[in-house]
């Protein structure tokens, strides 16, 4: 029986296949950016790069065969979403350090320095996303311009519902291209909508510093009157100690009814709405703090007496610590 050989993904869009390290480095740099590329260990280099361009992003397949050290520094102009098919890679992107494998993708921020070690036999599909396009899409989802760089944190879980759905969409596009039906032809309306779905999927599936504005967005604007009364009451008394019973009484319903209505129409609970709204006010105060301001002062102002829980909730919502926000705000003020 003849040996069955399997075509690698995106084989019809091959850029090169080489055993020469310098050629591999130069040819990959022509699509991405200049970088250091060196082999580690004894396995021979068998490098290949396949590239399918779109309008705002491109699909790529890369393998090196050998264990490789890759150090591009800052990517600058693009985000890079890496989905390992086989093997894995150790990732360092700014402060994030993690291991990427078929169950956990890597998302590289362009404004943080990057270095990676791809293990021997690592094969990856990569989505290169234009940085400006990513921020414009983010602004469209927020309804306003982003006031700081979009920063993803750590590995993206591909085993959960949202991560698996995003991976499935990308691999479907790869499979369609392999069948001779590439869907990312620049200029097409469908292609642009597909690209938008990938950008939205990435924003929804992964942790980043704008995640709170997505995960706590209202599910419906057509809510019962008592939900709106409860929201108005909480917004008017953000700096006051409030209980669920206080809010329910102000809205004229039982606590149980209010909990149910918030879950159905807002996708959260009354107390979570109150906490996150207070966190956003604290976030604004920290961004625009005067010299000498302490994180504890801001936390106390908005009703957070337990500073450990405040810091944990704050980081989960904004992707950074209160102290980091305060320091960045003060640095920006002195830079003006």
Mean pLDDT split into 10-residue runs, the chain, 336 residues: 66 97 97 96 94 96 97 97 96 94 96 96 97 90 78 92 92 95 82 92 91 56 82 89 92 88 82 89 85 89 87 85 80 44
Q: Are 127 and 56 in contact (CB under 8 A)?
A: no
- pLDDT value for 320: 85
pLDDT at 333: 41
The pLDDT of residue 175: 94
Instruction: Write b or e for each residue in 214-231: b if 16 or more Cβ atoms lie within 10 A of its Cβ, otherwise e.
Output: eebeeeeeebbebbebbb
Q: What is the model's pLDDT at position 201?
A: 93
How far apart are alpha carbons 76 and 112 in whole angstroms? Answer: 8
Which helix (H) or strand (E) is 251 found in, with range?
Answer: helix 244-251
The residues that bridge with 117 in the sheet, in sequence order, are 69, 90
Cα–Cα separations (whole angstroms), residue 56 to 32, 76, 89, 135, 217: 14, 15, 26, 11, 26
Determine the CATH number of domain 11-208.
2.60.120.10
Domain ranges of the chain: 11-208, 225-335
The confidence score (pLDDT) of residue 144 equals 66
Same fold, 11-208 and 225-335: no
**Which residue spans within 112-270 are E strands per DSSP?**
113-118, 123-130, 156-157
Q: From CA 120, how far away is CA 65, in angstroms rounded?
A: 6
pLDDT of residue 214: 63
Domain 225-335: CATH superfamily is Homeodomain-like (1.10.10.60)
Q: Are 71 and 114 in contact (CB under 8 A)?
A: yes
Q: Model-level pTM? A: 0.65
Question: What are residue 105's DSSP bridge partners?
Answer: 156
Phi (first) and psi of residue 304, to 5 degrees:
-105, 100
């Amino acid at each position: 029986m003849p040996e069955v050989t399997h075509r690698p993904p995106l084989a019809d869009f091959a850029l090169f296949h080489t055993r020469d390290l310098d050629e591999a480095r130069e040819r990959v740099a022509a699509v991405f950016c200049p970088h250091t590329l060196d082999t580690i260990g004894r396995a021979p280099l068998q490098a290949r790069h396949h590239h399918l361009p779109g309008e705002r992003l491109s699909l790529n397949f890369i393998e090196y065969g050998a264990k490789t050290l890759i150090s591009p520094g800052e990517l600058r102009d693009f985000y890079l979403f890496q989905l390992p098919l086989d093997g894995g890679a150790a990732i360092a992107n700014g402060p994030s350090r993690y291991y990427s494998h078929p169950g956990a993708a890597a998302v590289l921020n362009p404004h943080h320095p990057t270095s990676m070690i791809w293990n021997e036999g690592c094969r990856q599909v990569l989505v290169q996303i234009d940085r400006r396009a990513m921020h414009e899409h983010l602004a469209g989802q927020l309804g306003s311009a982003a006031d700081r760089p979009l920063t993803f944190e750590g590995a993206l879980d591909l085993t959960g519902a949202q991560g698996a759905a995003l991976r499935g969409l990308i691999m479907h596009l790869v499979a369609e291209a392999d069948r001779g039906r590439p869907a990312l032809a620049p200029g097409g309306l469908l292609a642009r909508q597909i690209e938008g779905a990938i950008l939205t999927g990435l924003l929804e599936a992964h942790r980043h510093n704008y995640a709170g504005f997505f995960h706590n967005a209202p599910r419906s604007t057509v809510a019962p009157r008592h939900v709106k009364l409860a929201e108005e009451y909480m917004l008017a008394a953000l700096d006051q100690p409030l209980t669920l019973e206080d809010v329910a009484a102000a809205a004229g319903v039982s606590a149980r009814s209010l909990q149910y209505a918030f879950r159905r129409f807002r996708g959260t609970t009354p107390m979570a709405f109150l906490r996150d709204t207070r966190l956003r006010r604290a976030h604004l105060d920290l961004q625009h703090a005067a010299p000498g301001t302490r994180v504890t002062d801001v936390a106390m102002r908005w009703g957070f007496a337990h500073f450990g829980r405040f810091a944990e909730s704050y980081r989960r919502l904004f992707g950074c610590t209160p102290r980091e926000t305060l320091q960045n705000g003060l640095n920006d003020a002195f830079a003006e």
